[in-house]
Amino acid sequence: MQNEQEKNEAGAVKSQAPQSEAKPSSDVKAENKSTKKAASTAKKTVTTKKSSKKTTKNDKADAVPFAVISSGGKQYLISDGSIINIEKIDGEAGSKVEFDSVLLYSDHTNVSVGAPYLDTVKVSGTILGQNKSKKEIVFKFKKKTGYQKKQGHRQLISDVRIDKITIKK
């Protein structure tokens, strides 16, 4: 009798041990999903502290003045040292250029707007090179006649570095 009880107890222990270690695959999948949900909700609940920095006059003094100029029928926002690609202007690489058509000037404390141009502000720059823009494809098509025409175009452009924005008083 004791042998049977020992066998039953040993068998029960043996049969219980593998059951506690091995889980059915559906339970493992459910557990993985619940941990993924917990991880995703943890990601959603993370909050960041925003720095509340107030701008002062000293910060504005460090800001670079800017202007808006007109060239080739387009308008460009510029500041000292900026490089712009504009419609082709006469001149070779290294030659100086001056833009008189300044529409707006700001030094972050005062804003001057022209009507249409500002006479007191001049922008000087240096031509870096003459290039072509990327190719634009023009495709013409007429239905029912079989007419198709494909043509490409590359606009001539000038690369200009803005050297200085000067104010005449």
Along the 169 residues of the chain, how does pLDDT read in single tens digits?
556 555 555 555 444 444 545 555 555 555 555 555 555 444 444 445 555 555 555 555 567 899 999 999 999 999 999 999 999 999 999 999 999 999 999 988 899 999 999 999 999 999 999 999 999 999 999 999 999 999 999 999 999 999 999 998 7
* DSSP type of residue 36: H
> Can you give the pLDDT at residue 95?
96
Contact 80, 105 (CB under 8 A): no
- Whether residue 116 is preceded by a cis peptide bond, meaning omega within 30 degrees of 0, is yes
134 vs 124: CA distance, rounded Å: 27
Question: Per the domain annotation, does 3 fall within a domain?
Answer: no
Question: Per the domain annotation, does 30 fall within a domain?
Answer: no
Tell me the two tokens of residue 117: 């141009």
Residue type, 141: F
62 vs 73: CA distance, rounded Å: 32
> Can you give the pLDDT at residue 43?
44
> Can you give the pLDDT at residue 80?
93
Question: Per the domain annotation, does 113 fall within a domain?
Answer: yes
> Can you give the pLDDT at residue 169?
77
For residue 70, the cross-strand partners are 75
- C-alpha separations of 142 from 22, 109, 145, 148 in Å: 72, 56, 6, 7
Cβ burial of 139 (10 Å; 0-12, 13-18, 19+) is exposed
Phi, psi (rounded to 5 degrees) for 155: -75, 140
Question: Per the domain annotation, does 94 fall within a domain?
Answer: yes
> Can you give the pLDDT at residue 28?
54
Q: Three-state SS for 132?
A: strand
Task: Report the 10 Å Cβ neighbour count for 97.
Answer: 19
Question: Per the domain annotation, does 70 fall within a domain?
Answer: yes
Q: Which domain holds residue 117?
A: 57-129+159-167
Question: Per the domain annotation, does 17 fall within a domain?
Answer: no
95 vs 13: CA distance, rounded Å: 94
Question: In the chain, how many domains are there?
Answer: 1
* H/E segment holding residue 57: helix 57-62
> Can you give the pLDDT at residue 84?
96
Question: Per the domain annotation, does 65 fall within a domain?
Answer: yes
